[in-house]
Amino acid sequence: MVDFCNDQAIGGYQELELPFIDSNVLNGVVRTNSARSAIKLVLSSLDANKVWLPAYTCEAVVEAAKDVGVPIEFYKLDSNFEVEPLLQLKCDELILIVDYFGLCSEAVQRSRGRFAHGQTIVDCCQSYFSEPTEVLATIYSPRKFFGLPDGGLLYSNNPRIKPPEQRDESSESRMGHLISRLTNSPEAAYQQYLEAEQAISKLPVEGMSRLTERLLQSVDYQRAKTTRARNAQYLHERLAQYNQLNLNIDETVAPLCYPFLPSVKTTSKAGLIKERVFVPTYWPEVLGRVDEGSFEWDLVTNGLFLPCDQRYNEEDMDRLISLLAIK
């Protein structure tokens, strides 16, 4: 017998036409309103006396630890993005290891093998397509890869880490820049984007909004993964000989961007932006934590983080390479 006891509306005005491409994408995962909230959820659920963070990380991660009152200490990376070799954890300490750009899974595996699984958090905010591993928690930020107003994902088997009781109800207020990008230039809504990012930084720890969940179910993940992998390989084949970073790029990786630390003279970051190639800086605040000339300092100062996502094709990659004007 059919149960007609739900109160779902029938009829009325039309909504956005969003396909259900992957309705199971959120199964078995804790959904939060941001990756920052996911980090807070993990740290506030445990009795840690310290968390070790890489000096090369964004301020959002640092602020998340500070907000829940967990003392912080920074560690250095080597040139392969691995945790400094002499670092050891006490039994009441945690460590956060980052899968940088979605290209450092092997470095993560080697680094996490040195520490107890129950003390290790893997930050996959730049690595959406990396699989979660057997650690305390693995955290993702899907809005870095797809057009979303907010949202974070958290994988953990620790029973003390529980989903937030309340959902975020404010996502609609952070859709302006996403809608504007469809009809205007990215410059037109850049201020709206900055305001949305600032708003996310002030959110309480809550569950993912229904809007963000529905948008995630409409993403063509296989197409995004395949296109990112193809574009990254294309760039690497042409730029690897000029790149100081030793990257392992094949069809299995779908990175956030192509990280290029040039060994030759190229167009500057400002020059690329002038040509409307918008490359980010990961992360200017790091310069206050590291020594001048260090690996992290070099990445912030000289790194070019080239777009290679699912919006682009080989023609776009050729234009990008041309604009680098390698000498």
> Each residue of 150-185: pLDDT tens digit?
999 999 999 999 999 999 999 999 999 999 999 999
Domain CATH number, residue 58? 3.40.640.10
Do 157 and 234 lie in one domain? The reply is no
Is residue 16 domain-resident? no
Is residue 92 domain-resident? yes
Per-residue pLDDT for 246 more than 80?
Answer: yes
pLDDT digits (tens, 9 = 90+) for 203-231: 999 999 999 999 999 999 999 999 999 99
- Residues 111 and 138 sit within 8 Å (Cβ to Cβ): no
Q: What are phi and psi of 202, to 5 degrees?
A: -105, 0
Confidence band, pLDDT 50/70/90 cuts, at residue 2: low
Is residue 163 domain-resident? yes
| Domain stop point among 184, 200, 216 | 216
More confident residue, 145 or 17: 145
Per-residue pLDDT for 1 more than 70?
Answer: no
Q: How many CB atoms lie within 10 A of CB 162?
A: 11
Distances (CA, A) of 293 to 287, 296, 298, 301, 302: 10, 8, 6, 9, 11
pLDDT at 25: 81
More confident residue, 66 or 7: 66
Do 265 and 138 lie in one domain? The reply is no
Q: Which two tokens stand for residue 252?
A: 């299995």
Do 299 and 198 lie in one domain? The reply is no
**Among 19-28, 73-82, 147-156, 277-286, which stretch is predicted with the lowest mean pLDDT?**
19-28
pLDDT at 5: 60
pLDDT at 16: 87
**DSSP one-letter code for 210:** H
- What total of structural domains would you count in the chain? 2
Confidence band, pLDDT 50/70/90 cuts, at residue 4: low
pLDDT at 196: 96
Q: Which domain, by its residues, includes 276?
A: 221-324
Per-residue pLDDT for 197 more than 80?
Answer: yes
Q: Which residue has the tokens 């859709």?
A: 175
SS3 label, residue 266: coil
Confidence band, pLDDT 50/70/90 cuts, at residue 323: very high
Per-residue pLDDT for 72 more than 70?
Answer: yes
- CA Rg, the chain, in Å? 20
Q: What is the largest CA-CA distance in the chain?
A: 74
pLDDT at 158: 95
Do 104 and 182 lie in one domain? The reply is yes
Helix axes 314-324, 221-239, angle to 10 degrees: 30
| Domain stop point among 183, 199, 216 | 216
Span 234-260, average pLDDT? 96
Do 112 and 250 lie in one domain? The reply is no
Q: What is the C-alpha separation between 2 and 201, in angstroms, rounded?
A: 45
pLDDT at 133: 87
Mean of all residue pLDDT scores within the chain? 95
Do 193 and 228 lie in one domain? The reply is no
Do 190 and 307 lie in one domain? The reply is no
pLDDT digits (tens, 9 = 90+) for 8-63: 889 999 888 899 998 778 888 999 999 999 999 999 999 899 999 999 999 999 99
Do 89 and 237 lie in one domain? The reply is no
Do 69 and 197 lie in one domain? The reply is yes
pLDDT at 146: 97
Do 290 and 167 lie in one domain? The reply is no
| Domain stop point among 185, 200, 216 | 216
Per-residue pLDDT for 3 more than 70?
Answer: no
CA torsion sign for 157, 159, 160, 165 is positive
Is residue 9 domain-resident? no
Is residue 101 domain-resident? yes
What is the CA angle 143-145-149, rounded to 5? Answer: 20
